[in-house]
Amino acid sequence: MAILAINGGSARPLDLGPKKRPKLFLWLVSTAFFAATVLTVPASAARRPAQLSDTLVLEQRTETLGRVTTYVSEHGLKVLVRGSKCYLVAVAPSWKVMFCNDENKKALAMSYDQWLEHFPRFTYSAADEWDRCNTIVYKAEKLRRLGYIMRQCFFPAKNVNGHIERIDAPQRGEYYVIEKSWPGEQPYRILQKAFSCPNLAAIPVDLINETHADRVEAFGRHFGGVEHWLATSRIVDQKLPSSFFAYGQGYTFCRREAEVLNDSKKRADVDDVVRELLPK
């Protein structure tokens, strides 16, 4: 085998000899293989699908935010407020909580520990000051609802030397939760604070207040009724990319949730109510 060598401006063949031919052949093969690897690896990596997380999706109606769609996974959680551009999001491992409005670009943000000490205010009314997160509940049997095995709980209850006992009272209720084996309790406690539900290491599904007739005063009887503080109509499993739970950017930060919710749609809804109240 020979290649051209430059010698004083003239080209002459250079004989490498039989001993150098195998080395040159191996060098050419390894160079070609390296070039092919460099060119093909990025392309195959670009075609690789994004990592997906097992996510539980719940269609819910809440006393605090109205109708929402809740997404829960071990990597993050998200609550989309239907009929608006508002959402609550928290992402592992910090589980910082953000409540955002993509219409007016306002948001509230705080650490996980701050959120647990926080009392969410989604309206300007101070009518309901009851934080139900500290309500003690009695854990009863497991049963199937909406296609999932859930834990049925009852309240009120009391803690007697570390043992939870159910209290027989005229005003009582039921609490249904899904117990998952995900590590950590952060997503559960964030949701329970947002929906004002008792703290349990589980996903809140239904919180029902059952008030029964307990007394007669003068000529009236108090019958009570059933009130759904949290109601779930549908639950499905999905696989979602981690980017679905990403934090947004470019917001003006507020001090409470009601300021975040105050956008043009909410103001239009209030104006409609006022017009209905005005004399025709």
What count of Cα atoms within 13 Å lies in the side-chain half-sphere of residue 243? 3
> What whole-number distance in Å separates Cα of residue 65 and Cα of residue 138?
26
Of 94, 89, 67, 278, nearest in space to 184 by CA = 94
> Mean pLDDT across the chain, nearest whole number?
80
Q: For strands 252-253 and 106-110, give the pairing.
A: parallel
Alpha carbon distance 120, 259 (integer Å): 12
Assign 3-class secondary structure to 114-170: HHHHCCCCCCCCCCCCCCHHHCCCEEEEEEEECCEEEEEEEECEEEECCEEEECCCC
Q: For residue 233, give both structure tokens.
A: 């109509």
Q: How far is CA 261 from CA 211, 250, 251, in A?
A: 32, 16, 13
What pTM did the predictor assign?
Answer: 0.74
Stretch among 116-120, 211-215, 230-234, 248-252 having the lowest mean pLDDT: 211-215
Q: Backbone phi, then psi, for 180, in 5-degree steps?
A: -110, 160
Question: Over the range 79-94, which residues count as b (16 or more CB within 10 Å of their CB) and which as e?
Answer: bbbeebebbbbbbbee
Give the alpha-carbon dihedral of 14, 17, 19, 21, to 10 degrees: 60
Rounded to whole angstroms, the Cα distance separating 216 from 255 reads: 45
* pLDDT score at 125: 59
- Tens of pLDDT, residues 151-190: 999 999 999 998 999 998 877 899 999 998 887 899 999 9
Q: Which residues make beta-bridge pairs with 101?
A: 86, 106
Q: Spell out the residues 6+ positions from residue 238 whose beta carbon is closer than 8 angstroms to its own.
A: 55, 57, 71
- Categorize the per-residue pLDDT at 48 as very low, low, confident or very high, splitting at 50, 70 and 90: low
The 10 Å CB-count burial string (b at 16+, else e) for 123-158 is eeeeeeeeebeebbbbbeeeeeebebebbbbbbebe
Q: Which two tokens stand for residue 66?
A: 């109205």
Q: Model confidence over 75-92: pLDDT tens digits?
A: 999 999 999 999 999 999
Q: How confident is the model at residue 212 (pLDDT cuts 50, 70, 90)?
A: low
Confidence of residue 6 (pLDDT cuts 50, 70, 90): very low
Torsions phi, psi for 129 (to 5 deg): -105, 15
Q: What are phi and psi of 276, to 5 degrees?
A: -65, -30
